[in-house]
Amino acid sequence: MTDPRVRAAYAEGAGIYRIVPAAVAIPRNTDDVVALVRHAADAHLALIPRGAGSGMPGGNVGSGVIVDLSSGFSGLAVDPESRIVRAGASVTWAAVNAAAKPYGLRLPPDPSSGAFATSGGMVATNAAGARTVRYGSVRRWVEALEIVDADGTVRLVERGAGSGERFTLTPDTRHLISDRFPKTSKNSSGYALDRFAASGDELDLLVGSEGTLGIVTQVHWRLDPIPPDIAGAALGFADLDAMVEAVPYLLSLQPSALELLDASLLQFVPDAPKVACLLLVEFERETGAAARGVVGDAVRGLKESVAHVETAVDRAGLERLWSVRRLASPALARLPAHQRSLQVIEDGCVPLDALGAYIAGLRTAAARHGIPIVMFGHAGDGHIHVNALPDTTADGWPGALHELFDEVTDLLGRLGGVPSGEHGVGRLRAGILARFYGTEVMDLFRAVKRAYDPLSLLNPGVIIPATDWSPVAALKVGVAAAVIPEDIATRLRDVERSAAWATPKLELTR
């Protein structure tokens, strides 16, 4: 479809960009994808695979042909004996878990966007969530992928099937990877050559490749039993140092989640505790007594440092306790008209012993450039989400945003971190990967791309940067934003405000 209104409806995702595509394709099945890929190869068209559009770093927008995989691809079958669910690319995390729950099973990684995050999209970024601290990111739970290669070949790539023939590692490249890859608990920054080197599985190279190596049409997820009992606590701290010191102790108790809400975010949430930092900790155990007992251990062990304590000893209580986290994003959507929440430095992850230095550095950098920020994230993984809140009526705000991006990038590098823990590189971070990995690893990344996509048809500019890369080019806000019909721009803003990413984008054109 090349209708201007349809193209406008796909010009934005959840991140900071507005890029009007040349066309939109909505394949309904794998045969459609094969035909589309072969046509693109003949016509030298760039294809941008896309699920719900909720990804932050701009991997779901582009100037080529958007391939909307959010309709069709809806097959869903649970095998409780093998604990495997076969899910089409458009099947959401929530749908997978709803189908698995009657068998006492679940997909443990739980991205906060799970209501609309599609299976294909989660694989694309190696998505994660609050329970990653215990269960890891989605890579660990992928047993097989059905993909369409850049030449139109359909393949099922299975766990344990080996590295395939497209790309292999030498002893020298293995040493380089071991030496240059940052040692963080989470990493969705570039091709996962470290995981590929460790497992020898092609599957680990494809997970997290952001639609640049093939188009995912089906995912085989491995499921896990739902733990019988759960309990938790909200622990408030008067200062950053006290919170940072509490994290290792809480991790020693083996929580299933350990989340951070900073005062910068809590200020937007009605009735939130008046503390500098709030940790939400969850424990899954085999009995109710064990769950309640470990919550007691957590509270007693930190009684000298906490300024606020609330506990919950069942699922309903924990749901109420965590409501403060769910209320945060809607609160940000009610910012004044001149102020926008822009996800520019939103996914950095550092080694756990650098968590305090990273948060302090973020505060200093934001103050220096005059841009308010809010912070929250996964404290147990050293992983912080940051929303910048610039005044878009102020002179020079895009330049200040760029300077903030550069300073935080340098900060992450000094602390041994990575620019993305779970959301992927997209277009936003493609140009800074060399600052974390060096030119030799970037050459390996380019070799991976050539091996799978020699014509660079699949999501060009993602992971491997475009020559004219800039993190703040093509913003969806400001005088330089691409012009689209006003009613569609308003509807896209409404989708963003209400996180209604499951809305079919064609509905926005009517």
pLDDT band at 268 (very low <50, low <70, confident <90, very high): confident
pLDDT band per the 50, 70, 90 thresholds, residue 315: confident
Residue 41 CA to chain centroid, in angstroms?
Answer: 29
Residue 256 DSSP label: S
Over range 108-134, report the average pLDDT: 94
Using a pLDDT cut of 70, give the percent of the chain over it.
99
The contacts of residue 353 (CB under 8 Å, 6+ apart) are none
For the CA atoms of 107, 205, 24, 75, what is the dihedral angle to 10 degrees?
A: -40
Cα–Cα nearest to 431, from 417, 419, 421, 440: 419
Name the pLDDT band for 294 (thresholds 50, 70, 90): very high
Structure tokens of 58? Answer: 């701009």
pLDDT of 139 above 80: yes
What residues does CATH 3.30.465.10 cover in the chain? 1-225+423-501
What pLDDT does 162 receive? 85
CATH 3.30.70.2190 domain range(s) in the chain: 229-324
Mean pLDDT of the chain: 95
Q: Side chain identity at 102, as an amino acid letter? A: P
> What average pLDDT score do residues 266-291 get?
93
pLDDT digits (tens, 9 = 90+) for 399-434: 999 999 999 999 999 999 999 999 999 999 999 999
What is the rounded distance in angstroms from the CA atom of residue 75 to the CA atom of residue 84? 14
pLDDT score, position 337: 80
DSSP letter, residue 482: P
Residues in the chain, total: 510
Chain segment 193-222, per-residue pLDDT in tens: 999 999 999 999 999 999 999 999 999 999
Is residue 377 within 8 A of residue 355, CB to CB? The reply is no
Instruction: Note the pTM of the prediction, 2 decimals.
Output: 0.95
Q: Residue 328 pLDDT > 80, yes or no?
A: no
Token pair in block for residue 180: 């240059």
Share of the chain above pLDDT 90, in %: 91
CATH number belonging to the domain at 229-324, selected among 3.30.70.2190, 3.40.50.720, 3.20.20.10, 3.40.640.10? 3.30.70.2190
How many Å apart are CA 70 and CA 488, to the nearest integer? Answer: 19
Ramachandran sector of residue 198 (left: φ over 0; alpha: ψ -120 to 50; beta: rest) = alpha
Tokens standing for residue 409: 């990038």
pLDDT tier for residue 338 given thresholds of 50, 70 and 90: confident
> What is the model's pLDDT at position 163?
84
pLDDT at 325 over 90: no
pLDDT band at 336 (very low <50, low <70, confident <90, very high): confident
pLDDT band at 483 (very low <50, low <70, confident <90, very high): very high
**For residues 428 and 471, is the Cβ–Cβ distance under 8 A?**
yes
CATH class of 1-225+423-501: alpha beta
- Looking at the predicted structure, is the pLDDT value of residue 381 above 80? yes
pLDDT tens digit string along 38-52? 999 999 999 999 999
> Please, are residues 202 and 161 in contact by the beta-carbon 8 Å criterion?
yes
